[in-house]
Chains A and B, each alone.
Chain A
Amino acid sequence: MSDLTHLTISEARAKLRGKEITAAEITEAYLSAIESANPLLNAYVTVTADKARGMAKASDARLAKGDGGALEGIPLGIKDLFATEGIHTQACSHVLDGFKPRYESTVTSNLWADGAVMLGKLNMDEFAMGSSNETSYYGPVINPWRRSRLQTTVKPTIHDGGGGFVVPGGVEQSRTYDNMQLVPGGSSGGSASSVAAFLCAGATATDTGGSIRQPAAFTGTVGIKPTYGRCSRWGIVAFASSLDQAGPIARDVRDAAILLKSMASVDPKDTTSVDRPVPDYEAAIGKPIKGMKVGIPKEYRVDGMPEDIEALWQQGIAWLKDAGAEIVDISLPHTKYALPAYYIVAPAEASSNLARYDGVRYGLRVPGKDIIEMYEKTRAAGFGREVKRRIMIGTYVLSAGYYDAYYLQAQKVRTLIKRDFENVFAAGVDVILTPATPSAAFGVADEDMASDPVKMYLNDIFTVTVNMAGLPGISVPAGLDGKGLPLGLQLIGRPFDEETLFQTAHVIEKAAGKFQPEKWW
């Protein structure tokens, strides 16, 4: 049974339609995988086993009649940021204690309408604020990947004297694993870890500064943040409304395309949802990239970047060149200002979005002698350190006398960041290739990161520009570093040109192969 969890969505889809397997069987396989692995990985905060079984049964009935949807019977995990009717939805925060929405987010509604099965809610950084999944009220998620050392043993050929018996020698390679726990990245750490560890066929995620692409890179999975406005934000707990976008994390490029097709829609309930039909992303996979112009931005070569990442980037360039793409050097001069501008814009938006958690309409309430004290005590007890830090920054930069110096300046810089991209696209560049992250996965409770918030923020240095400009970006696994950990490359596209990202990412995937962690959980 357990090998059913190793099927990709496209493979499972074919077997379900061909009646080789049932939705009930694949759902049971995932539920039992979660039961044994979750105590170790902490990827799920709630498992909805009964609901999953009910949905699988309904899927099997539809499949039997031959009228299954695009994701009929495919078991998925849902990030805790998405409102799911009657089911735990807390953005992994204490302040939303006990919240069970009376409505369903548009993205998850779309998935269920296409026949997907919900396995449960996935762990994440509190309110999607973090790059390691360590800010969750429910504790850190563990990355299924571990560091390892490759050992090469050369064995001589043994000739057994006169009998002519020969034991052939050769070179044997084996890996010795380190038991240190690594983070899966964040904020969609539960999504990335559960996909990499075969605890769901695919997962929903969200990305405000890199929260889909960085965890995907840390776990050897594929993650795409589509263009701002492609997926409806209705029913997704808001962090920074001008930057937040939903997208999938999946085991390969094709699965990511299948999931995004179902998640994306035009939604009258979200005024920033863009009025464009959703294309068939899967159709872009396998198309040749001959003649495509790939831009390599010089500003993404940063000080202190590990050699492995530079080498991987060069390898990616070589793969695309071999496939017939034209490589051009480009400049995105305002790149270094994207992260500081983000740390004004995102906290500012968060401070107003999170004003609603006041102990009145939902979640936690800590009593006080008057209403102000009740607000202050509720929010002090309900929010974790990182969330408080960002609310404080946001409140400060929006406060009287500082608005122009911080917020307005940051929004102007944001215009310049977007203009950089517009200029290179206008010059004929079709897609931009960069590393996805400045490092591989790091350890849980890393002292450097814990002592300096800015150090943690630097994780998003290559991904945050894309959110600031509203562009689509995909992270695709491209290799392992010297310690056997996965590394990703990022492709950035023109607005609403996700098809080119899938097409190009598939070329990298074909050249690099797929990566999966050695099972220990």
Chain B
Amino acid sequence: MSVDLRTVKRVAHLARIAVSEEDAERMTGELNAILGFVEQLNEVDVAGVEPMTSVTPMEMKKRQDAVTDGNKAADIVANAPATEENFFLVPKVVE
């Protein structure tokens, strides 16, 4: 399988990365090189093979359902580019 310029632009939008025409053209070539490389996986007979979900056979640990942390609003917004009264500020999303 290979991708064309239109697909690359669509994927870039899905990934929320702005691309110029020139970027998209370069990426098309690069992505096709990588997709060509991974193509060989189709040679492998995977009939009856379970997909891997965890490398270590273990049951997922569950935390106790208890409040162990909190009251850190100032810490949480400390690194944000724009805040107001412990809220993250973003451009208007609803009219």
Contacts and interface: CB of A to CB of B under 8 A. Distances in A.
Interface of A: 98-103, 227-229, 242, 268, 271-275, 334, 336-337, 340-341, 343-344, 351, 355, 358-365, 367-377, 379-380, 383, 388-389, 391-393, 395-396, 399, 402, 405-406, 408-416, 418, 452-454, 457, 469-470, 495
A363 B58 contact: no
Interface in B13-28: 13-19, 27
A392 B50 CA distance: 26
B63 A412 contact: no
B5 interface: no
A359 B81 contact: yes
Contact of B41 (A373, A374, A410): A410
Nearest to A390: B34
Contact of A454 (B17, B37, B77, B90): B37
A384 to B, nearest CB: 12
A382 to B, nearest CB: 9
B81 to A, nearest CB: 4
A379 B80 contact: no
13 contacts: A102-B72, A103-B75, A227-B56, A228-B55, A275-B61, A358-B16, A363-B79, A388-B17, A389-B27, A392-B17, A406-B38, A418-B55, A470-B55
B3 A396 contact: yes
Nearest to A96: B79
A377 B90 contact: no
B18 A376 contact: yes
Contacts of B42: 409
Nearest to B14: A395
A476 to B, nearest CB: 23
Contact of B17 (A102, A380, A413, A416): A380
Top-4 shortest CB links A-B? A470-B55, A411-B51, A365-B81, A380-B18
B80 to A, nearest CB: 5
Contacts of B81: 359-360, 362-365
Contact of A268 (B52, B63, B91): B63
Given A371-B91, A413-B46, 7 more contacts: A229-B56, A271-B62, A272-B58, A340-B38, A360-B81, A363-B79, A377-B18
A383 B12 CA distance: 13
A274 B58 CA distance: 8
A415 B52 contact: yes
Contacts of A99: 79
B44 A413 contact: yes
B37 A340 contact: yes
A228 B77 CA distance: 32
A341 B63 CA distance: 32
A393 B37 contact: no
Contacts, number: 169
Interface in B38-77: 38-42, 44, 46, 49-56, 58, 60-63, 72, 75-77
B18 A393 contact: no
Contact of B33 (A379, A402, A452): A452
Contact of A376 (B16, B56, B90, B93): B16
A102 B75 contact: yes
B34 A100 contact: no
B18 A389 contact: no
B16 A375 contact: yes
A193 B92 CA distance: 47
A101 B79 CA distance: 8
Nearest to B91: A371
B11 A392 contact: yes
> Most chain-B Cβ atoms within 10 A of its Cβ — which of A228, A336, A340, A414?
A340
Given A268-B61, A371-B91, A343 B52 contact: no
A334 B18 CA distance: 38
A98 B46 contact: no
A416 B49 CA distance: 8
B68 to A, nearest CB: 10
A414 B38 CA distance: 13
A413 B41 contact: yes
Most chain A beta carbons < 10 A, residue from B46, B77, B78: B46
A374 B90 contact: yes
Contact of A412 (B49, B78, B79): B49
Given A229-B56, A470-B55, A361 B79 contact: yes
Contacts of B30: 389, 453
Contacts of B33: 452-454
Of the candidates A372, A389, A412, the one having the most CB atoms from chain B within 10 angstroms of its own CB is: A412
A102 B78 contact: yes
A249 to B, nearest CB: 23
A4 to B, nearest CB: 37
A340 B15 contact: no
